[in-house]
Amino acid sequence: MEKQHIYYFDNNATSRVAEEVAREMEPFFHDLYANPSSMHFFGGSLQIYLDTARQRVADLLGARPEEIIFTSCGTESDSTAIYSALRSQPGKKHFITTQVEHPAVLTVAKNLEKQGYRVTRLPVDAEGRLNLDDLKQAITADTALVSMMWANNETGVVFPVEEAARIAHSRGVLFHTDAVQAAGKIPINLSETRIDMLSVSGHKLHAPKGIGVLYVRKGTPFTPFLIGGHQEDGRRAGTENVPYIVGLGKAAELARKHIELENTQVRELRDRLEAGLTAAVPGTKVNGRGAERLPNTLSICFEYIEGESILLMLSEKGICASSGSACTSGSLEPSHVLRAMKVPQTYAHGSIRLSLSIYNTREEVDYVIKEFPAIVEKLRAISPFADGKPLFGAGDGHHH
């Protein structure tokens, strides 16, 4: 039987492990299995591989190797950064973030409120952009930390984190950014910023799932999240995940080389997809089109239909994408990101995210453009909403 081609347009969910990365990891599942903390020659012989990986990640971020801490994932990096900033400044009880962060930050924020912290969630406009005046006004003498994502996972909208970090810094407030979606897609040079902490996840940049990085600027107060052994210079306990660290190092080296491709080839393909879909299908809306966006991400709404139905029909055609919904208390709601952007009700339910990588081809993009109109037509034909009748409840066009 012929293997079905996978049209993979879900790279913001996870990306394929690069062949070069898998190859680099291979020996560490076989001969090179020692614990790098062991006193014997075998353990010691692994140190060089950890050092190389740390240097490669530092080079991708414009950081120093001693500022790189390996973690298990982006989520751990986010939690570590936020709790560290708060524990290091026990007198300060205010945390600033945004309405459109990943749950890895928003769920921590909710938890902090239960523990007595005050949380400010900065709003965004209809294009998903922040107003930095809101940040300036939110900072008080009680503010311990600002955590603001570099790029949004759903829309790809890029936040002005470097400027935001300068603002926070000038007021004596620590600054963390979740750069899980930004790393490898847009240039990052931390040496030129006032960013104190930054999170990266391996599986978004062609390393495996289950490895991440937290950058902590030299001199930043730091309290570990995982405590135990002395690994990572006492900043993250747990025996080093040598194969995955090595893999992430290789992925970082590749990402640095490929960042130009991301911003030429991948951007052109994304723009081709966006132009093709908006031309071929009536009643679309591109989320964040007026903002600076990642080169690989297209978030697009189709009026009067449901994103989940589109996904299922795309899936039948071998196309992998995501929808902009979140299942909250059993009902499908537009995601918190689209709600924060106040995407009109008739559009918000029909949201699809297509996210590309350097492994996508023009043929794949053209296939998606070719398949889409019939799918949308079919769904609109059976949509109870497409004939002008009110949508989803009250029918005033507003979300309750």
Binding residues for ligand PLP, per CB under 6 A?
73-75, 102, 104, 149, 153, 178, 180-181, 201, 203, 212
Q: How far is the CB of 109 from ligand PLP (least distance, A)?
A: 13
Nearest to residue 186, comparing CAs of 60, 56, 294, 57? 294
Give the C-alpha separation, 335 to 326, whole Å.
5
301 counts as catalytic: no
Q: How far is the CB of 398 from ligand PLP (least distance, A)?
A: 28
Give the C-alpha separation, 298 to 296, whole Å.
7
Q: Which two tokens stand for residue 305?
A: 């239909």
DSSP 3-state assignment of 364? helix
Give the C-alpha separation, 342 to 26, whole Å.
47
Q: Which is nearer to ligand PLP, 8 or 372 (CB)?
A: 8
Ramachandran quadrant class, 85 (left: phi over 0; alpha: psi -120 to 50; beta: rest): alpha
Q: Which is nearer to ligand PLP, 210 or 276 (CB)?
A: 210
Residue at token pair 């020996």: 27
Q: How far is the CB of 159 from ligand PLP (least distance, A)?
A: 11
Under 8 Å between Cβ of 189 and 169: no
Give the C-alpha separation, 74 to 67, whole Å.
16
Q: How far is the CB of 208 from ligand PLP (least distance, A)?
A: 10
Give the C-alpha separation, 215 to 177, whole Å.
10
DSSP 3-state assignment of 122? strand
Q: Which is nearer to ligand PLP, 94 or 203 (CB)?
A: 203
Catalytic residue among 73, 301, 320, 327: 327
Q: Which is nearer to ligand PLP, 108 or 305 (CB)?
A: 108
Q: How far is the CB of 102 from ligand PLP (least distance, A)?
A: 3
Q: How far is the CB of 151 from ligand PLP (least distance, A)?
A: 7
Q: Which is nearer to ligand PLP, 210 or 373 (CB)?
A: 210
Report which residue's Cβ sits closest to ligand PLP: 74
Q: Which is nearer to ligand PLP, 46 or 213 (CB)?
A: 213
Nearest to residue 105, comparing CAs of 290, 337, 354, 292? 337
Question: CB-side exposure of 107: number of CA atoms within 13 Å?
Answer: 7
Residues with active-site annotation: 327
